[in-house]
């Protein structure tokens, strides 16, 4: 699913090369380079202590035990103290690696999540039209956690594995070259075996990640529409859909676990064979007088030490496969260049009168699609009230969404006060335009926080004034905790009319010179509609106002009504003039009146 969806974006959107991906990967260490150095130093100490302890044991068993003297006994006690000191240093260093290393990974995970979340804010409506929330959620949660594990454990696992491996190899060569070489003959075979199954693990893990994304999408889709699901008693259907995605996930995990089992069980088997080989050939060497029991004991101890780097290497490969898969998916989003950005010399939009002009504007969602809007030319005067009506799918909402550059025009230009919107900074452009939509989005939290979203530094008095202007104050103070009342996710504790009035209060607080209403009353009952219309009329005063209307009764007072169809602007005029004309608007109005 992911692979298919991300292919929707053209190659031109991908700006990073694999080399720059590597640089990007390592760049997250930069703020924590000091902590990383301490982490690696402690990892070196852990390895050095691990290698030193068997040498202490060999010294005791090979040289001191045989002497059976008081001096030898005191040396044994000294070596015991040395080993206790080594174990203490090992424990302290390992604790630092385990704690501070994990903290470093968590901090890097935080940085990556923040960067990805901030990047999400820059992407246009087009991106979110083509990608679902569940997909994006997986990339900012599961994938970043796996990356944190790789960032933390990766360097220390490599350092400890290499130091233990090289150190053990050198020490064993000094004890018995033949037996050391026999031992290390197993390692190339183990490496090839591990490489083969690690590749299979990578493929399986990628599929597993994709399946988790599909599950998140399904859960998000069902829970977001739970009222529809229950009202149509379609719980069984949703359960079946979820079960299907769940089974696909289990199938992908089975492949992953199978590869993982072959990988780890194979390495353990090779390790056991290595131990048997050391015992057999070591015993032969002892019988022939080439080495003694103390040397064989040392060999066996170092075999145990060799197992740890092999296991660490296996763990690193698993973390690498999971982490690098997550990083690739992370970068797939980060490499998507926002298709709507500030021009290099963008200027702020200030002192806005509110004149809007469309000059031969064309728009289509994709190159291969047909035009939604074609050759639209239109002048809207400052403080003019313009209504846009027409059949569904004619592009009414799209037309208004082009003004704040939620979408980019395919051809032509849109100007505000004579300035092409493409030459203006996006922040200043959108801060001068207010949107009140049919599908009001309210955030989980209190009433006052949702109104304050229109102006984050607004005082409580300003918020209360905005609520009064929006005819919302009376119902707010009747709530259990007034303005501090929690309204639930998406404002589920409020009626449609109440939510709409909070949206209007938010727009009042923003106080923009241009306001757009997108079918703001189409889903309301008559009483709520009257309250919202009254608030809307207050908000429209001295502002350039565009209303997209489904209920034509809401636009009779418009200074100008535009009838938009697939062919463009078919009709234009006042309510009375268009009725007298007897054209499309008159037919729409009469049809609406019959069903009202």
Q: State both tokens at 587.
A: 């037919």
Q: For residues 359 and 412, is the Cβ–Cβ distance under 8 A?
A: yes
DSSP state of 339: S
Nearest to 142 by CA among 322, 288, 21: 322
Q: For residues 414 and 359, is the Cβ–Cβ distance under 8 A?
A: yes
* pLDDT given at position 384: 93
- For residues 274-308, one letter each, b for 16 or more C-beta atoms within 10 angstroms of the residue's C-beta and e for the rest, the string is bbebbeebbeebeeeeebeebbbbbbebbbebbbb
CA angle 77, 79, 83 (to 5 degrees): 115
Numbered ranges of CATH 3.40.50.300 in the chain: 442-511
Task: Name the 3-class secondary structure at 337.
Answer: coil
- Cα–Cα distance measured from residue 282 to residue 298, given in angstroms and rounded to the nearest whole number: 11
Could you identify the residue written with the tokens 């313009």? 386
Other beta carbons within 10 angstroms of residue 245's beta carbon come to 19
As a whole number of Å, the CA-based R_g of the chain is 35
- Cα–Cα distance measured from residue 125 to residue 245, given in angstroms and rounded to the nearest whole number: 27
- Cα–Cα distance measured from residue 349 to residue 416, given in angstroms and rounded to the nearest whole number: 9
CA angle 194, 195, 201 (to 5 degrees): 85
Sheet holding 373-380, edge to edge: 373-380, 356-363, 411-416, 419-420
Q: For residues 453 and 443, is the Cβ–Cβ distance under 8 A?
A: yes
Q: Any bridge partners for residue 419, and if so which?
A: 416
Architecture in CATH of 442-511: 3-Layer(aba) Sandwich (3.40)
Residue 532, burial from CB neighbour count under 10 angstroms (0-12, 13-18, 19+): buried
Q: For residues 43 and 100, is the Cβ–Cβ distance under 8 A?
A: no
* pLDDT given at position 1: 37
Q: For residues 330 and 112, is the Cβ–Cβ distance under 8 A?
A: yes
Model confidence, pTM = 0.73
- Cα–Cα distance measured from residue 516 to residue 520, given in angstroms and rounded to the nearest whole number: 10
Nearest to 477 by CA among 469, 182, 468, 556: 468
Q: Quick one: how many helices (H) and strands (E) in the chain?
A: 21, 10
Centroid of chain to Cα 314: 28
- Cα–Cα distance measured from residue 297 to residue 304, given in angstroms and rounded to the nearest whole number: 11
CATH of domain 18-28+103-334: 1.20.1560.10
Centroid of chain to Cα 543: 38
* pLDDT given at position 448: 94
Strands in 521-589 per DSSP E: 544-548, 560-565, 568-573
What are the average pLDDT values for consecutive 10-residue runs of the chain, which has 596 residues? 41 48 89 93 92 86 69 82 93 92 89 90 84 78 79 86 87 87 82 77 76 78 72 80 87 82 82 85 86 85 77 75 82 87 91 94 85 91 92 88 92 95 94 85 88 91 91 91 87 83 89 85 61 78 88 80 91 91 86 61
DSSP state of 371: P
Numbered ranges of CATH 1.20.1560.10 in the chain: 18-28+103-334
Centroid of chain to Cα 25: 16
Q: For residues 22 and 349, is the Cβ–Cβ distance under 8 A?
A: no
* pLDDT given at position 522: 54
CA angle 298, 301, 307 (to 5 degrees): 140
């Amino acid at each position: 699913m992911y692979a298919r969806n991300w292919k929707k974006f053209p190659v031109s959107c991908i700006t990073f090369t694999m080399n720059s991906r590597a640089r990007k990967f390592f760049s997250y260490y930069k703020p924590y380079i000091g902590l990383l150095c301490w982490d690696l130093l402690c990892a070196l100490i852990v390895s050095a202590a691990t290698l030193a302890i068997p040498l202490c044991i060999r010294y005791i068993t090979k040289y001191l035990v045989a002497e059976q003297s008081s001096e030898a006994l005191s040396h044994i006690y000294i070596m015991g103290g040395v080993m206790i000191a080594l174990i203490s240093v090992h424990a302290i260093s390992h604790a630092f690696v385990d704690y501070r290393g994990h903290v470093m990974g968590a901090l890097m995970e935080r940085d990556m999540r923040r960067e990805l979340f901030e990047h999400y804010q820059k992407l246009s409506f087009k991106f979110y039209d083509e990608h679902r929330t569940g997909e994006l959620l997986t990339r900012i949660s599961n994938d970043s956690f796996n990356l944190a594990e790789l960032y933390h454990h990766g360097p220390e696992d490599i350092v400890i594995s290499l130091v233990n491996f090289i150190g053990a190899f050198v020490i064993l060569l000094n004890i018995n070259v033949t037996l050391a070489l026999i031992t290390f003959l197993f390692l190339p075979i183990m490496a090839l075996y591990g490489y083969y199954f690690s590749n299979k693990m990578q493929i399986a893990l990628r599929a597993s990640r994709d399946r988790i994304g599909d599950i998140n999408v399904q859960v998000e889709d069902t829970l977001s529409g739970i009222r529809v699901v229950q009202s149509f008693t379609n719980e069984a259907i949703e359960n079946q859909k979820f079960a299907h995605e769940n089974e696909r996930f289990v199938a992908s995990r089975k492949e992953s676990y199978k590869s993982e089992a072959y990988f780890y069980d194979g390495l353990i088997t090779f390790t056991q064979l290595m131990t048997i080989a050391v015992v057999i050939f070591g015993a032969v060497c002892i019988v022939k007088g080439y080495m003694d029991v103390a040397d064989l004991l040392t060999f066996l101890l170092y075999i145990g030490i060799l197992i740890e780097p092999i296991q660490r290497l296996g763990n690193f490969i698993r973390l690498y496969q999971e982490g690098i898969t997550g990083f690739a998916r992370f970068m797939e989003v980060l490499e998507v260049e926002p298709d709507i950005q500030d021009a290099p010399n963008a200027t702020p939009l200030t002192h806005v009168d509110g004149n809007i002009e469309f000059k031969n504007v064309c728009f289509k969602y994709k190159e291969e699609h047909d035009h939604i809007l074609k050759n639209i030319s239109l002048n809207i005067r400052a403080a003019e009230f313009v209504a846009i009506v027409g059949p569904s799918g004619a592009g009414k909402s799209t037309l208004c969404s082009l003004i704040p550059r939620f979408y980019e025009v395919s051809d032509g230009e849109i100007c505000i006060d004579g300035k092409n919107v493409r030459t203006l900074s996006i922040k200043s452009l959108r801060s001068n335009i207010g949107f009140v939509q049919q599908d009001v989005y309210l955030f989980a939290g209190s009433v006052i926080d949702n109104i304050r979203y229109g102006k984050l530094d607004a005082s409580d008095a300003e918020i209360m004034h905005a609520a009064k202007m929006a005819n919302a104050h009376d119902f707010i103070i009747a709530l259990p905790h007034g303005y501090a009342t929690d309204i639930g996710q998406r404002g589920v504790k409020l009626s449609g009319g109440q939510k709409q009035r909070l949206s209007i209060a938010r727009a009042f607080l923003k106080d923009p010179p241009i306001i757009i209403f997108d079918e703001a009353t189409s889903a309301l009952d008559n009483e709520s509609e009257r309250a919202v219309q009254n608030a809307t009329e207050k908000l429209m005063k001295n502002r350039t106002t565009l209303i997209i209307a489904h209920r034509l009764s809401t636009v009779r007072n418009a200074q100008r009504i535009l009838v938009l169809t697939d062919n463009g602007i078919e009709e234009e005029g006042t309510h009375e003039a268009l009725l007298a004309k007897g054209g499309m608007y008159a037919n729409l109005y009469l049809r609406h009146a019959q069903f009202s």
